[in-house]
Amino acid sequence: MNVTTRLRLLEYARLADAADGALARADAQARATRSTRDDAFADLGHWMHAASTAGDEYQHAALALQQALASYQRLADVERAAAARLQRRTSAAHAARDDFDRAWAKAARGVPHAGHSATALRLLDGLAAMPKELIQAVDAVTVQSSGGKDSVVLVDRLATWGQQTGCLDKLVVVHADLQGADWPGVRELAERQARRYGLRFVTVRSPKTFLSMVEARGMFPDAQNRLCTATLKRDEAAKLFTEITRALGLGEQAVILNCLGIRAAESPARSRKRHLAIDKRASNQNRLVLTWHAVFDLTEADIWEQIASRTLEYHPVYDTLIPRLSCTYCILAPFEVLVEATRLCWLWNLDTPTAYLDVEDRIGHRFTHKFSLADVVAEARRRDQADGPIAFEPGDAIRRHVGEQAAAAYLERLGLSRTAYLARFGLAA
Ligand code: SF4
């Protein structure tokens, strides 16, 4: 079965899944309205009995009976509407499953399938194993880049496949600008990483900044409520899908491959994700969006090995003991990392600690439920006083992960002095 056929089948599976979801919601709603109407029926019975035995209180009971009857009739109408909706959703779900069955029968020539959901997962796994064919078959490839270590390897990998398949012009690198919540020079770094291969580079920006969002809410986001990721990154990237689809102007559904630098080894939650998945939220009749974790199986050591051997540019934050190029103060970062981030801000004369402390103080809500940024800053101050300012050398990240020899070779190929190494990010040596 060729890649185009597989992609078409995935769209049928997506529609069948969506119809099943709508059916499940309609079913739940129909049950809820039935139960409410049953309660109203019991209420009606109560007031009928009360009215027939009321004696002197008859007028009050009759009025209550009248109200109970009106309520029952209204709820019966709601129940009828819910039942009709359930009927429509049932028909739509059957039709969508039939469409999938027909498309499958035509493509698979008699081989039975294991249900549209299970079949979609198999199709996706198969497609993830043929990256070059996949890139050739889709209409556009977006590569989400934070500028961090996983992103730089992701961009390198996609650009290499793009070059090998003659599809470089399909690729666009997308960077969500965190507008001051991140480290200096990150946007420029992401752009340089993309331009190295001649790729188109797009920056998306939320109308809100991290701190304006926190001030408006009166609280910091947390792991359960990652509004920051949705507001500052995902929602903005989603708008781009609409623009890309419109610019393609295909007159039929476009297929967009959206690549993310997520790795299984990063966390148990991430390890449960799949290489390739349908983005149900971003897909619609105009576009099928597939999320591709194209560096999913790489370990942290693999990432650094590739950075060293391919001479990929990375941010000097990694040369300190900060493991991720996220927001300077990431709500998911452990206390220790935030302490080191604070010391690094002082070393580089950044006013991020002051700005965040001001907001924490003004809204009266701690940065996390375990500790405040005031605690973080106090510990950073204590360490700076005891040990002096944070110290690092260019290439320390490669030194730690790959070895001294690899770091020396990397720096030699870069051919930059310490001053020039940091100046690329607007930082003083
Ligand atoms: S890096 Fe951390 S704080 Fe910044 S948007 Fe992502 S989750 Fe939120």
> In the prediction, which pLDDT does 260 show?
95
Which of 327, 338, 360, 373 should be mutated for ligand 1, with most atoms under 8 A from CB?
Answer: 327
pLDDT tens across 365-415, in order? 999 989 999 999 999 999 999 999 999 999 999 999 999 999 999 999 999
pLDDT tens by residue, 233-268: 788 888 899 999 999 999 899 999 999 999 999 888
Q: Which tokens sit at 166?
A: 């003659």
Span of 37-51, 179-193, 357-371, 411-425 with lowest mean pLDDT: 37-51
- Ligand 1 in reach of 22 Cβ (< 6 A): no
Per-residue confidence (pLDDT) for residue 357, from 0 to 100: 94
CA–CA distance, 416 with 427 (Å, rounded to integer): 14
Q: Which range among 125-129, 222-226, 345-349, 415-419 shows the weakest confidence by mean pLDDT?
A: 222-226
Q: Rounded to 5 degrees, what are φ and ψ at 113?
A: -115, 165
Ligand 1 lined by 326 (C-beta under 6 Å): yes
Ligand 1 centroid to residue 150 C-alpha, Å = 16
Tokens 């796994």 sit at which residue?
125
pLDDT of residue 228: 79
Considering the chain, what is the average pLDDT of its residues?
92
Cα 19 from chain centre: 24
Q: Which one of 45-54, 250-259, 267-276, 419-428 scores highest in mean pLDDT?
A: 250-259
DSSP 142: E
Q: Residue 45 above 90 pLDDT? A: no
Quick one: which atom of ligand 1 is closest to the CA of 332? 2
- pLDDT for the residue numbered 149: 96
Question: Dihedrals φ, ψ of 278, to 5°?
Answer: -80, 130
Which range (71-75, 143-147, 226-230, 294-298) has the least confidence?
A: 226-230
Percent of the chain having pLDDT more than 70?
Answer: 100
pLDDT band at 65, cuts 50/70/90?
confident
CA 16 to CA 226: how far, in whole Å? 30
Our answer on whether the CB atom of 332 is closer than 6 Å to any ligand 1 atom is yes
Closest residue CA from atom 6 of ligand 1: 229
pLDDT band at 147 (very low <50, low <70, confident <90, very high): very high
Between 303 and 47, whose confidence is greater? Answer: 303
Q: Which of 146, 317, 326, 359 to mutate for ligand 1's pocket (most ligand atoms within 8 Å of CB)?
A: 326
DSSP state of 225: B
CA 260-186-161 angle, 5° bins = 40
Do 181 and 237 form a contact (C-beta atoms < 8 A)?
no
Q: What is the CA radius of gyration of the chain?
A: 29
Ligand 1 pocket residue status of 330, Cβ below 6 Å: yes
Q: How far apart are CA 323 and CA 92, in angstroms?
A: 49
Return the residue whose CA atom lies nearest to atom 2 of ligand 1: 330
The ligand 1 atom nearest the CA atom of 333 = 2
Average pLDDT over residues 21-25: 95
Alpha-carbon gap, residue 135 to 162, rounded angstroms: 7
Residue 259 alpha carbon to ligand 1 centre in Å: 19
Work out which ligand 1 atom sits closest to the CA atom of 326. Answer: 1
Question: Where residue 131 falls among pLDDT bands split at 50, 70, 90?
Answer: very high
Describe the strand order of the beta sheet including 276-278 as a list of residue ranges.
200-204, 171-176, 140-144, 254-259, 287-292, 276-278
Residue type, 261: G
Do strands 287-292 and 276-278 pair parallel, antiparallel, or not at all (unpaired)?
antiparallel
- Residue 428, pLDDT > 80, answer no
Ligand 1 atom showing the smallest separation from residue 331 Cα: 3
Q: Can you tell me the distance from the alpha carbon of 208 to that of 320, in angstroms, rounded to the nearest whole number?
A: 30
What SS3 class is residue 28? Answer: helix
Arithmetic mean of pLDDT, 323-350:
93
pLDDT in tens, 284-297: 999 999 999 999 99
Nearest CA, atom 8, ligand 1: 228
For ligand 1, is residue 186 a contact (CB within 6 Å)?
no
- At 197 the three-state DSSP class reads coil
CATH 3.30.70.100 fits 123-292, yes or no: no
In 3D, which of 183, 171, 188 has the Cα closest to residue 135?
Answer: 171
- pLDDT tens by residue, 89-117: 999 999 999 999 999 998 888 788 889 99
Q: Which helix (H) or strand (E) holds 338?
A: helix 335-347
The residue whose CB lies within 8 Å of the most ligand 1 atoms, and thus the one to mutate among 182, 204, 209, 228, is 228
Q: Bridge partners of 202?
A: 174
Report whether residue 325 contacts ligand 1, using a CB cutoff of 6 Å: no
Count Cβ atoms below 10 Å from residue 127 Cβ, excluding itself. 22
pLDDT of residue 43: 84
E strands, 61-109, are none
Rounded to the nearest 5 degrees, what angle is found at the Cα of 326, between the Cα atoms of 140 and 302?
A: 70
Q: Which of 183, 219, 330, 373 to mutate to test the pocket of ligand 1 (most atoms within 8 A of CB)?
A: 330
CB of 327 sitting under 6 A from ligand 1: yes
pLDDT of residue 308: 97
Question: Is-above-0.85 flag for pTM?
Answer: yes
Average pLDDT over residues 321-336: 91
Q: Whose CA is nearest to atom 4 of ligand 1?
A: 327
